[in-house]
Structure 1
Amino acid sequence: MPVMIAAVVLVGALCVLDLILTLGVVKRLREHTALLLEVSGNMPGRPPVLAVGAEIGEFTAVTVDGEMLTRESLAGDTLVAFFSPNCEPCQEMLPKFVAHARAAGGGRDRVLAVVVGATDRAAGQVAELSPVARVVVEGSDTVLTSAFQIKGFPALFKVAPNGDGRPVIADNRVQLLDTPTVVA
């Protein structure tokens, strides 16, 4: 009997030691994750985005109103957003974005919204966005999505000209909402 008690105590002590070591490893992994997010410039729950100061790629697109857009069309400070009709976080973000765009100075010329998806599925988002933004619907031709290197939805940027007058990312963490994102 004393051997059995000693074995149970030994197994219990080993289990407690294992639990302590496991908790230490979990804590260390959380610290490493936070450091990696800080170094990469990304926030938890958000897809990787272009860094502040990154130049936007060349593009040519046509808005739903028939206006031709190029990279040079993004003169001055411009709010740019990417949505997808089958993205729940996009649906949650849309009213907040519309309210923010309506309140921002500069009107429609300073706001660009890109809806990525089939035209028929994008109609609802286009209707909400059109009064406050120039809207582009991207189906299979994803020129703007490529120019901004979009990896998930929703994505929101402030674009401004750099010293040479070329549009660059001025802010990739626009604070108008706390909505999670969906990876593309």
Structure 2
Amino acid sequence: MPVLVAALTLVGLIATVNLLLSMGIIKRLREHTELLANLGGGPASLVAGEAVGEFSTVTVDDRPLDRESLTGETVVGFFSPTCQPCKEKLPTFIDYARNRTGGDRRALAVVVGDAEQAEDFVSRLSPVVRVVLENPDGPMSLAFKTRAFPTVLAVAPDDDGRLVVTDDHFALDQPAALV
């Protein structure tokens, strides 16, 4: 009987230590989650309702592009060739844009990186959408305040004619014709 009491006491002590360690780990994970959420000083891009800043650039096929040329609802995707999630999301973006009513006038891709690295992305996107190739501090990245990749936004003119973000968590799996 004393062996059974000692064994149960030992199991109880081990369970208590395990519980205390688990609570400490959970507290630490919450702190890390908060730190990661605040990394970069805020959201990864403009959020819904915010106006897009002024920009003027050209697409890879030398067509001028500025804020005023985005006249209807447009899906804008920001991709970086050095980002693994971008490589995974790119085919979904291409399929979405290919099936979207309005064709390349209603979708736009911004590839952020140097031309050599971005060559594959640009060649895959160009037949389907308008493509802009720029550096991280390029005019579109600044206008959309993009700091993370991939980022996919829906934009459209508001009642006052300002170009605003209408969806900052745009889901590419929704039907393209209904957007």
| Superposition TM-score tier, normalisation by shorter sequence | 0.7 to 0.9
Residue in 1 aligned with 2:177?
A: none
Shift of 1:174: 1.5
Which residue number in structure 2 is paired with residue 152 of structure 1?
Answer: 148
| 2:44/2:145 contact within 8 Å kept | no
TM-score computed with the length of structure 1 as normaliser: 0.75
Provide the C-alpha distance between the structure 2 equivalents of 1:71 and 1:111, rounded to a whole number of angstroms.
Answer: 14
Structure 1 vs Structure 2: percent identity of aligned residues? 42
Q: Which sections of structure 2, spanning at least 5 residues, go unmatched?
A: 38-42, 174-179
Quick one: distance in 2 between partners of 1:106 and 1:51?
24
Structure 1: any 5+ residue segments left out of the alignment?
41-46, 178-184
Whichever residue aligns with residue 61 of structure 1, its letter is: T
SS of alignment partner, residue 120 of structure 2: helix
**Residues 118 and 139, structure 1, Cα contact 8 Å, conserved in 2:** yes
Residue in structure 2 matching 1:107, options 92, 103, 113: 103
1:152 CA drift (Å): 1.2
Q: Deviations over 1:91-132 (max 9, x none)?
A: 111111111001111111111110111112212111111111
Deviation at 1:70, TM superposition (A): 1.1
Aligned AA (1:84): S
Alignment size in residue pairs = 165
1:53 and 2:49 correspond: yes
Tell me the C-alpha RMSD between the 2 structures.
3.1
Is 1:117 matched with 2:113?
Answer: yes
Query: Normalization by structure 2: what TM-score?
Result: 0.77
- Give the letter for the 2:156 counterpart: A
Superposition map of 1:1-184 within 5 A? 13-27=12-26, 48-139=44-135, 141-176=137-172
